[in-house]
Amino acid sequence: MLYMIINRTRAGLTESDMEALGRIAQAFYDHVPPGVELHGDWTALDYSCTFALLETDSPDLLETIQAPFRDYVDMEAVPVMPVTGWGKR
């Protein structure tokens, strides 16, 4: 299943919070868990939120991935699917 993960950085984070968030994010990218495929990652131009397209067949694994980030970001995982053929007749 594909998921669009939307992370909104919480207001009021300290410099050390941001450093911790950076370490957590880097650890994820350095060791994407087996059973998860990262299809892409984007940020808003003002860095207020990020978007990642992940694929996994395990909702439990998705929750495990999100847990370390919860003190720093508000997260939303939206199940998505590709859309093809729009505008074709």
Name the pLDDT band for 88 (thresholds 50, 70, 90).
Answer: low
Q: What is the pLDDT of residue 76?
A: 95
pTM of the model: 0.83
Residue 89 covered by a domain: no
> Which residue range is the domain that position 14 belongs to?
2-80
Structurally, how many domains does the chain consist of? 1
Residue 85 covered by a domain: no
CATH number at residue 10: 3.30.70.1060
Q: Quick: pLDDT tens for 48-81.
A: 899 999 999 998 999 999 999 999 999 999 999 9
Residue 86 covered by a domain: no
What single string gives the DSSP state of each residue in 13-79? Answer: --HHHHHHHHHHHHHHHHTPPTT-EEEEEEE-TTSSEEEEEEE-S-HHHHHHHHGGGTTTEEEEEEE
Q: Quick: pLDDT tens for 23-55.
A: 999 999 999 999 999 999 999 998 889 999 999
